Amino acid sequence: MKKYIAYTDGSYQDSIKAGGYASIIFDEQGNKVKELYQGFKNTTNNRMEALAVLATLEYFKEPVEITIVSDSMYVVNTIAEDWIGKWYREKDYSKKNLDIWFKILDYLSFHKVTMEWTKGHANNEINNQVDELCVFAARCLNLPEDEFCNKSKKDRESLVSMSNSWGSTRFDVGPEDGKITYSLG
């Protein structure tokens, strides 16, 4: 299985009512493989953070082993603390961004994903680059509307499609490095 590392980020700028996500993907030798980014009108920062992870996982057509580095504890904890699995099992449609999270959940059974948190706007050069890229994406012209963003709970219930193809979850947390590996069993 090929190995990759991706740095993801999301942004929202209230002054322009737009946000963006970005991902920079490297192979295991450190070569840049791809930059992914997209902007949306009328969205939220958290949606863009989660969408960056989804876009990264969707990019790969074959299963890969990937470490995703994010400065969003929302993203890291939703996967690492199995909030996403809990929402699915309990049919808790009150949570926001389920359209994105349940798609990510399907990809977690396809790829081997390790989540890693990094402090944002600090000394991590790649994290700073991906931050600049998602801000750029938000400032592009003719952005599409994020139509799912402000749906009611009832609308979310009817629009979220979920997969029954996954089973129990397992997390491996390395106490030395703080990395969390999420896999489905």
What does the pLDDT look like over 59-113, one tens digit per residue?
999 999 999 999 999 999 999 888 998 998 898 888 889 999 999 999 998 999 9
Arch. (CATH architecture) of 3-184? 2-Layer Sandwich (3.30)
Q: pTM for the complete prediction?
A: 0.82
Within 13 Å, how many C-alpha atoms sit on residue 134's CB side? 31
Angle between helix 73-80 and 45-59 (nearest 10)? 60
Residue type, 129: Q
Contact 53, 8 (CB under 8 A): yes
Q: Which residue has the tokens 């994020």?
A: 146
Residue type, 37: Y
Q: Which phi and psi angles does 19 have, rounded to 5°? A: -140, 175
